[in-house]
Amino acid sequence: MCGRYAASFSPDDIVQDFEIDQDNSDERSRSLLAKPQDPPAGAPDWNVAPSKQAPVVLTRRPRGEEGADPVRQLRLLTWGLVPSWAKDTKIGLKMINARAETLLEKGAYAKAAVSRRCLVPADGWYEWQASPTETDAKGKPRKQPFFIHRADAEPIAFAGVYEFWRDRSAAEDDPAAWVVSYAIVTTAAEPGLDRIHDRQPVVLDRERWTEWLDPTVQDPDRVRSLLESPGDGRFEAWPVGKAVGSSRNNGPALLEPAPRGDLQGVVDPMTGEIFD
C-alpha cells in the first residue's frame, strides 16, 4: 500500500488547483523505465505505477537564483525514493511508501522529512482487498481491487517526501545524471477503509498544504502533527475491475464500478456485508 493511483488531470489543472508559482513539468530528470513511459509523463494517467514519473508539487528556490525566496513548483518526479547514498537506483522499487510512524527515524527518509516534503496530486488510489471467504486458483484469498477517493470531490494531495540521487559516473552538466524521486507517506487505514487494507496514504487537507511544503518547517514534532488525521469519513470506495492490476492497462474505464456478479466474497467497506 499504496501501489497504484490515478492522476487523470493535466499540468494546467494542477497549476490552478494547487496555486503553482512555477511550472517546471517540462524539465526532465533521468527515467528509470526501460521503455518510454505510456502514457507519457505528465499526461493524464489512470494507472500510475512505481518507477513512472508523475506530477509532484514542492517548494524550492528557483534553479540558478541564489538568495531568491522558495516558490511552489510543479515537477515530474520518479515514484520510488532513491536515497542520495544508494549504490543502485533499483532500491527505489522497495521505497514507494514511507510509514508515517517511522518517517522521521528511518535513515532513508528522515532528512527528506524535515526539508524535502512534497504533495502528490491524485484523483484517488487503488487498493486490493483479500476475501475472507473466496480463494483463487492457487488456493490463496481472492483479491478484489477498489478505487478510493475523496467524497467531497476536493483535490487529493498525498503527503510525500522527495530526494536527489546523482550518477557520479556522468558528466557534471548532464541532466540525465540526476534521478529525482519521491515516496508517498502512509498511515493506518481509517474505519471502513480498514476493511479493504490496513494502510492508506496520508491525504492532507488544503489548510495543511502550505506548511507541509515549507522547507523552513523542520521541527520533527511539527512535521508529525501535520500527518495526524483530521477525522474519519473523508473518503468513499467502490470495487473496480481487475484490469488495473496490469500497468499496461489505462483509461477512465479503470474507475468504473465492477459488476455486482463479479463480487463474490467481497466485503462492503462501509457495512461489513460479504457479497455472495
Catalytic residues: 2, 127
The four Cα atoms 13, 156, 244, 26 give a dihedral, to 10 degrees, of 40
Question: Would you tell me how many other CB atoms lie within 10 Å of the CB of residue 74?
Answer: 23
Q: How far apart are CA 71 and CA 2, in angstroms?
A: 28
Distances (CA, A) of 100 to 17, 191, 238: 25, 18, 25
Which of 144, 122, 159 shows the shortest CA–CA distance to 6? 122
Helix, strand, coil shares of the chain as percentages rounded to 5?
20, 35, 50
Distances (CA, A) of 12 to 16, 44, 107: 6, 11, 35
Centroid of chain to Cα 211: 19
